[in-house]
Amino acid sequence: MLNFNFPTPEVKQEYDVVVVGGGVAGAAAALAAAREGASVILLEKAALLGGLATIGLINWYEPLCDGKGKKLIGGIGEEFLHASIKYCQDTLPADWREKGESDGESKRYTTHFSPNAFAIALFELLIDAGVTVRYDTLATYPQMDGDICTGVLSETKTGCEYYPCKIVIDATGDAQVFYRAGCECEDGTNWMSFVSHYRKFDETLKPDMLAMRRWKVSGSGMTGKGQPEGFKPIAGVTSDEINLHIQTGQKILISQLKTMDRNAGELTQLPMMPQFRTIRRIVGDFTLEESNMYQSFEDAIGAFADFRPLRRTQWYEVPYRTLYTSKLPNMLAAGRIISSTGEAWNASRVIPVAVMTGEACGVAAALAVKNGVSVPDVDVSELRALLTKNGNIVSKPQ
Ligand SMILES: Cc1cc2nc3c(=O)[nH]c(=O)nc-3n(C[C@H](O)[C@H](O)[C@H](O)COP(=O)(O)OP(=O)(O)OC[C@H]3O[C@@H](n4cnc5c(N)ncnc54)[C@H](O)[C@@H]3O)c2cc1C
C-alpha cells in the first residue's frame, strides 16, 4: 500500500475573485471585475496571457460585426481587438478603423495580429487595471464546502498554494474547475490538426506580418479534410488524449520537414498548448443551441454573428444563464466553456465571443461581491446596464 504524503497548502491572501486561466476570456473577466472595483487574481499555468489566441498561435481575431457592416460586439471584445494590433501590423479594413462601420458585407470587422504582441498588450492592460497575475500556477482543485467553492488549490514551483475567494471564474478552456467541482459537462470532438508558423526566406524582407507567420498545417485542415487515417476525433479531456494529439502533430510535422529544403525557410513558432477547438463545456441553467438563432433573451449579455462567411448574417444572443449553473452558485464560466452546444458552440467558441462572455463574467462577479448575492441572484438589469455603459451591445439591434 503506497502512503502518499502531501504538504499542507500555503494559504494565500483572499481575493474577491479568482480567475482560473489567462486566455482571452480569463483576461477579459479579470479586467472587467477589477474595473468594477473587485480585488482580482488570475492564475495561469503558462508564462504568457492569451491562451489559444497567443501561445496556441491563432493569429486571427474573428469578426465583431453583424455581417452586414454594423458593429455587434463592443466593450472589451472591441478593446482587445485593438490591443491585439497595438504593437504590430494588422489587416483591419480601413472602413472599420476610420468610420467604425463598413458598407461591404465582405469587409468584416476582423484582423490578423501578432500572438506575441497581443500577449504583451494583454499583460499591460491587466497590470494597469490592478489585476494580480500569477504565471506558472497550475490550478488543481476547487475547494468545496457543499456547493460553495471557497477557493482554488494550485501547484507552483514553490509548492501547493491555496487561494481563497468569494467568486471563482473558470476560464480554463476545458471547464476544469467546474468539472472537478462536480458540474455536469459535455465533451467536444476535435480533428487531428496541428498548426505552426513558418516563414519562407524569400519573403523575409517584405514588411508583411503574414509572411512572418504563414500557417503550416500538419494533419487535418479546419473542416477535417486530411484527417490522418485511423485517427478518431477526440475531446482532449485526458492527458493521454492531449499527448496523442500533440505528439502525432509533431510527428507529422517531422515527416513534412524531411521533404523540405532547410535553407528555404524556418519554423518560427510551434504551439505551446494543444489546439483543440471544443474540449469540454458546462451544462448551465440554459444551453444555447442552433434553434436559438435569431432569438432575443431578457437576460442577454451580448450578441454575435457567425464568423463563417456563408453564415455571416446568422446571429445569436447569449443569455446570462449560459454562464453558470445554479447548482454551483458562486462560480462562473467564461469563454469557450459556456453552456452552448452543436453549431451554437462552434459559432460561440471564437475569440471575440470568448472575450464578450469573459467581460460579462467579470462584471457579474463584481456585482455579486458588491451586493452580497450569489451568481444566479445577480440583478440582470444592473448587469446589462453596466455592460452597456462599458460599450457593449447587450441585445441585437432589430
Ligand atoms: C486550430 C484552431 C483555429 C482557430 N482559429 C480561430 C480564428 O481564426 N479566430 C478566432 O477568433 N478563433 C479561432 N479559434 C478559437 C479560439 O482561438 C479559442 O476558442 C479562444 O481563443 C478560446 O479562448 P478561451 O480564453 O476561452 O480559452 P483558452 O484560450 O483555451 O484559454 C485557457 C487558458 O487557461 C489556462 N489554463 C488551463 N487550465 C489551467 C489550470 N488548471 N490552471 C491555470 N491555467 C490553466 C491555459 O493555459 C490558457 O491560457 C481557433 C481554435 C483552434 C483550435
pLDDT tens column, 304-357: 999 999 999 999 999 999 999 999 999 999 999 999 999 999 999 999 999 999
Is 89 in a helix, a strand, or coil?
A: coil
User: Residue 49: CB within 6 Å of ligand 1?
Assistant: no
Cα–Cα dist 27/39, whole Å: 14
pLDDT at 55: 98
Q: Is the CB of 172 under 6 A from ligand 1?
A: yes
CA angle 260, 265, 268 (to 5 degrees): 115
53 Cβ closer than 6 Å to some ligand 1 atom:
yes
Is the beta carbon of 51 within 6 A of some atom in ligand 1?
yes
For residue 203, is pLDDT > 70? no
Q: What is the pLDDT of residue 204?
A: 66
259 CA distance to ligand 1 middle (Å): 31
Cβ–Cβ < 8 Å for 249, 256: no
* Pocket probe mutation, ligand 1, options 52, 213, 234, max atoms within 8 Å of Cβ: 52
| CATH of 11-188+279-389 given 3.90.180.10, 1.10.3720.10, 3.50.50.60, 3.40.50.150 | 3.50.50.60
Residue 80: predicted pLDDT: 98
pLDDT tier at 169 (50, 70, 90 boundaries)? very high
Task: Assess contact for 66 and 107: CB atoms under 8 A.
Answer: no
26 CB under 6 A from ligand 1?
Answer: yes
For the segment 76-133, what is each residue's pLDDT rounded down to a tens digit? 999 999 999 999 999 999 999 999 999 877 799 999 999 999 999 999 999 999 999 9
Rounded Cα gap, residues 65 and 70, in angstroms: 5
Of 201 and 17, the structure prediction assigns the larger pLDDT to 17
Q: What is the tens place of the pLDDT at every residue in 206-227?
A: 788 898 899 999 999 888 899 9
Which residue's CA lies nearest to atom 1 of ligand 1? 275
| pLDDT band of 361, cuts 50, 70, 90 | very high
Q: Which amino acid residue places its CA nearest to atom 52 of ligand 1?
A: 277
How many angstroms from the chain centroid is the CA of residue 69? Answer: 25
Give the distance between the most distant pair of CA atoms in the chain.
71
User: Does residue 275's CB lie within 6 angstroms of at least one atom of ligand 1?
Assistant: yes
86 Cβ below 6 A of ligand 1: no
Q: d(Cα 275, Cα 304) in Å, to the nearest integer?
A: 23
For the chain, give every domain's residue range. 11-188+279-389, 193-269
| φ/ψ (deg, to 5) at 280 | -155, 140
User: What is the Å distance from ligand 1's center to 173 Cα?
Assistant: 6
How many Cβ atoms are within 10 Å of 129's Cβ, its own excluded? Answer: 14
